Amino acid sequence: MRKKLDNWCSMERWIQLIARKKEFIGTSVVAFGSIGVLWMLGTDDRISPMLQSIIAAIGIFLIMPLVYCRFLLGRPLSALGFQRGNPWAGIGGSVLAIVAALAALFVLWNFTSFSREYQLPVAVEEQFLFFVLYEVILSGFITLLFEVFFRGFVMLLWLRTLGIWSVPVQAALFGFLVYASAGINAAMIPALIFAPFAGLIAYQSKSLWYSYSASWFFFFLTDVIVLILR
């Protein structure tokens, strides 16, 4: 009887291992396919390029991860980080991450051409209302897309078996996509700086809410610093 029970447990472990491998392979295909589609996506001259980019980003960075996780894998959205998580790790990690990222920004500001090349839209720099709308709506929404895809889908769902190594891997994938799609420019430097920090926050807290809040606040502080020091 005991031998049969051991055999059954061993078979169950094998089934679970095979299921995890199938999920990992399937998610790998979806992740690389999504990045590849966004990289090679062309534009239609009849539609605004910005509008096309926004639609593509929403579909790939937001809708695809939600649909894949909830309906194809049948897993709750908490697997993507949509949960309360660990508030101590989230809040404490966010404070430390923002301080470290601001230190990196300080170095770039003083020893590179970042201060000259980083530009905000003219209307945002000149009118407070446009600044608020820009930070709350546009910056907030773009930050959400990055967090859901790279910290949620890529790191917490796909690469969770890598443990802490999932943090630099997701940051590297983000950097590769930025470089391959538009090249490294001053506008993307804050996001590239904070990508590993956001990953570490999400990894420690197991929640996107903290990494999202910290990322958005860092981008907001960056823009405020630029406006003050210019």
Residue 19: predicted pLDDT: 53
Higher pLDDT, residue 88 or 45: 88
Please indicate, yes or no, whether the overall pTM of this predicted structure exceeds 0.75. yes
Report the alpha-carbon distance of residue 13 to residue 8 in Å, rounded.
9
Q: How far is CA 33 from CA 67, 168, 180, in A?
A: 15, 20, 15
CA dihedral 43, 151, 212, 101 (to 10 degrees): -100
Q: Averaged over 42-51, what is the pLDDT? A: 57
DSSP per-residue string spanning 144-170: HHHIIIIIIIIIIIISGGGGGGHHHHH
**Where in the chain are the domains?**
2-229
Percent pLDDT > 70 in the chain is 86
Q: What token pair was written down for 223?
A: 């823009």
Answer yes or no: is pLDDT of 11 > 70. Answer: no
- The Cα 169–Cα 182 span in angstroms is 20
pLDDT tens-digit map of 181-219: 777 899 999 999 999 999 999 999 999 999 999 999 999
DSSP 68: I
Mean pLDDT, residues 143-161: 96
pLDDT tier at 171 (50, 70, 90 boundaries)?
Answer: very high
47 within 8 A of 177, measured Cβ to Cβ? no
Residue 2: is its pLDDT beyond 70?
no
**Residue 4 in this model has a pLDDT that exceeds 90:** no
Tokens of 163: 């443990």
